[in-house]
Amino acid sequence: MARKKNRKITKYRKYSFFNIGTLLFGIVFIYMIICIIMYATEKHITVYEVMRGSLSGNYRFHALALRTEAVVNTTHSGSVRYYVREGSRASAGSTVCSVNETGAVGPVAYEEFVLDASDESRLQNTLSSFTINFSPSAFQSAYDLKSNVETTVAEVMQSATGLPISVRNGCEATASGFVVYHTDGMESLTEPQLSQSLFDESSYHVNSLRGNNKVSAGSPVFKLITGEDWALYFPLDDQLGIRLASAESITFRFLKDNVTYTAPFSIVRNGSEAFGKISMNHSLVRYVTDRFLEIELVMNQNVGLKIPVTSITQREFYRIPEEYAIVNADTSSEITLLVEEFAADGSSKTEYRTANVYRHNKIDKYYLVDKQLLQEGCYLLKENSATRMQVQEKDTEIVSGVYNINKGYAVFRDITVLDENEEYCIVSSNTFYGLAVHDYIVQYADEVTEEEIVY
């Protein structure tokens, strides 16, 4: 028996695209688009939180060292052998090096020669220093190392035998001093010849005297630094020059070895250029081989509220003498003024106006109030008196400050700058009309105006 087919067809109900879900999604989508457009087109204010701090490491210089220097030339031609370690002191008349006219440096023979622990340590320190500071871009240092090792060995050998080395064509120290094996053309430089261009280290060139063992007659073979008196010079800008104008001594740190000294200080002026001069009469042995030394001035750093320089702006205010101000007993941030103004037809109007105080100078006895509050030419009246004063342009004062936004709108706050550099400044803290720790200010003052809402 054949199965009867079910011919009943059920149609599914079609749902309309426009339903409550689609409507809600569309509203949310449109709202998001509007928010994105508003965010992209509105003004963005950069906020900075005020913190306590100080300015440090502001005054670092590559100081130029000038000493009493003499270059010693040889009277022979040939190969050079050095016997004194660079940076060590040679006595007057002692042999620093010798020149072999045959062009070859022969060995110096000793019957007994043993390195003790201190000698080994000296050689190890020389090699370790070279390994740590070696740079492929300054391969000349490899030749300096070779010469240093040879000189150190010769010095140790001479000390081990207890007898002076027998040399031919010896080059002797003309005076007692420290031996240096390079020249730079500044040996005869004097203080009156100082200029800003000398501090451009990119043009500074050192000529190593031990780079080539063969010399000709009249060539320099070593340099002597005589006398313990020497000086460091560094360029001064106007701001630092004013700050150091009355200083007779200064504390500074050599960044090479982090040693701090206090030494006499003076300012040298060559034309329009000014230079700081640190006079030294000791410690020459530590830095005798350096022409430029990186130093840091250790100055009394002011501690206060640290803010960006970009936050600072200036505004103009009227000075109001205390006798014309009616003090509000409930708050010292506001005063009341009795103001008389004249209309164009000659009629006068007298009224009380409340003014926000931006600064109270208790020494000169005046308040600073917003210049927009008063019209130039109006009169301030002393309450219960016939005394009056006319508000004029000469009664204005320009004040530096920042915009405080703690309350959601920009409020000008007076500041007193204690110290500054190119990026930050230190301002007084705990001033009544100024800033306090954790205040929020506008980082870029040109982004807002007075009383502009920022939230």
Predicted confidence band of residue 163 (pLDDT cuts 50, 70, 90)? very low
Region 193-201 average pLDDT: 91
- For the ranges 8-17, 249-258, 378-387, 396-405, the lowest mean pLDDT is seen at 8-17
Task: Flag whether 240 is in a domain.
Answer: yes
426 and 284 both lie in a single domain: no
Residue finishing a domain among 297, 325, 345? 297
Q: Which residues contact 293 (CB under 8 A, 6 or more apart)?
A: 62, 63, 65, 232, 254, 256, 287
Predicted confidence band of residue 130 (pLDDT cuts 50, 70, 90)? low
Task: Flag whether 285 is in a domain.
Answer: yes
176 and 221 both lie in a single domain: yes
- For the ranges 34-38, 128-132, 225-229, the lowest mean pLDDT is seen at 128-132
Site of tokens 């500044």? 186
Tens digits of residue pLDDT in 327-361: 887 888 899 999 999 888 878 899 999 999 999 99
Residue 404 is predicted with a pLDDT of 94
Tens digits of residue pLDDT in 1-24: 455 556 666 666 665 666 777 888
Task: Flag whether 271 is in a domain.
Answer: yes
> Higher pLDDT residue, 239 or 278?
278
Task: Flag whether 328 is in a domain.
Answer: yes
Region 231-240 average pLDDT: 92
201 and 328 both lie in a single domain: no
188 and 274 both lie in a single domain: yes
Task: Flag whether 154 is in a domain.
Answer: no
Residue 437: pLDDT over 60: yes
CA–CA distance, 299 with 250 (Å, rounded to integer)? 8
Task: Flag whether 97 is in a domain.
Answer: yes
- For the ranges 168-177, 184-193, 279-288, the lowest mean pLDDT is seen at 168-177
Is residue 341 within 8 A of residue 375, CB to CB? The reply is yes
> Higher pLDDT residue, 145 or 249?
249
323 and 403 both lie in a single domain: yes
Residue 203 is predicted with a pLDDT of 87
287 and 169 both lie in a single domain: yes
Cα separations in angstroms, 310 against 140, 317, 400: 47, 21, 12
Residue 157 is predicted with a pLDDT of 58
Select, from the ranges 2-11, 86-95, 123-132, the one with the highest average predicted confidence (pLDDT): 86-95
Question: What are φ and ψ of residue 354, in 5° steps?
Answer: -90, 130
250 and 329 both lie in a single domain: no
Can you give the chain as a three-state secondary structure string?
Answer: CCCCCCCCCCCCCCCCCCCHHHHHHHHHHHHHHHHHHHHHHCCCCCEEECEEEECCCCCEEEEEEEEEEEEEECCCCEEEEECCCCCCEECCCCEEEEEECCCCCCCCCCCCCCCCHHHHHHHHHHHHHHHHHCCHHHCHHHHHHHHHHHHHHHHHHHHHHCCCCCCCCEEECCCCEEEECEECCCCCCCHHHCCHHHHCHHHCCCEECCCCCEECCCCEEEEEEEEEEEEEEEEECHHHHHHCCCCCEEEEEECCCCEEEEEEEEEEEECCEEEEEEEECCCHHHHCCCCEEEEEECCCCCEEEEEEHHHCEEEEEEEEEHHHCEECCCCCCEEEEEEEEECCCCCEEEEEEEEECCEEECCCCEEEEEHHHCCCCCEEECCCCCCEEECCHHHEEEEEEEEECCCCECEEEECCEEEECCCEEEECCCCCCCCCCCCEEECCHHHCCCCCECC
Structural domains counted in the chain: 2
Q: Which residues contact 344 (CB under 8 A, 6 or more apart)?
A: none
Residue 453 is predicted with a pLDDT of 82
- For the ranges 97-111, 266-280, 313-327, the lowest mean pLDDT is seen at 97-111
Residue 160: pLDDT over 60: no
Q: How far is CA 135 from its chain centroid?
A: 27
290 and 191 both lie in a single domain: yes
211 and 333 both lie in a single domain: no
Residue 66: pLDDT over 60: yes
Residue 317: pLDDT over 60: yes
Residue 378: pLDDT over 70: yes
- For the ranges 84-93, 163-172, 340-349, the lowest mean pLDDT is seen at 163-172
Residue 307 is predicted with a pLDDT of 94
Tell me the pLDDT of the chain averaged across its residues: 84
Residue finishing a domain among 239, 263, 297? 297
320 and 196 both lie in a single domain: no
Cα separations in angstroms, 341 against 320, 367, 390, 396: 16, 20, 10, 18
Using the CB atoms, write b or e for 356-376: b if 16+ within 10 Å.
ebbbbeeeeebbbbbbebbee
Task: Flag whether 36 is in a domain.
Answer: no
Residue 162 is predicted with a pLDDT of 47
Give me the long-range contacts of 186-194 (CB less than 8 A, separation at least 24): 186/64, 186/66, 186/291, 187/69, 187/70, 187/71, 187/223, 188/69, 189/66, 190/66, 191/66, 191/231, 191/233, 191/268, 191/277, 192/270, 194/64, 194/233, 194/268, 194/270, 194/273, 194/275
Task: Flag whether 373 is in a domain.
Answer: yes
Region 84-101 average pLDDT: 86
Q: Find the largest Cα–Cα distance for the chain.
A: 140
- For the ranges 126-130, 137-141, 240-244, the lowest mean pLDDT is seen at 137-141
Predicted confidence band of residue 26 (pLDDT cuts 50, 70, 90)? confident
280 and 346 both lie in a single domain: no
Residue finishing a domain among 278, 297, 316? 297
Residue 167 is predicted with a pLDDT of 62
Q: pTM of whole model > 0.85?
A: no
174 and 250 both lie in a single domain: yes
Predicted confidence band of residue 159 (pLDDT cuts 50, 70, 90)? low
Predicted confidence band of residue 58 (pLDDT cuts 50, 70, 90)? low
Range of 202's domain? 61-108+165-297
Region 157-170 average pLDDT: 58
Residue 14 is predicted with a pLDDT of 61
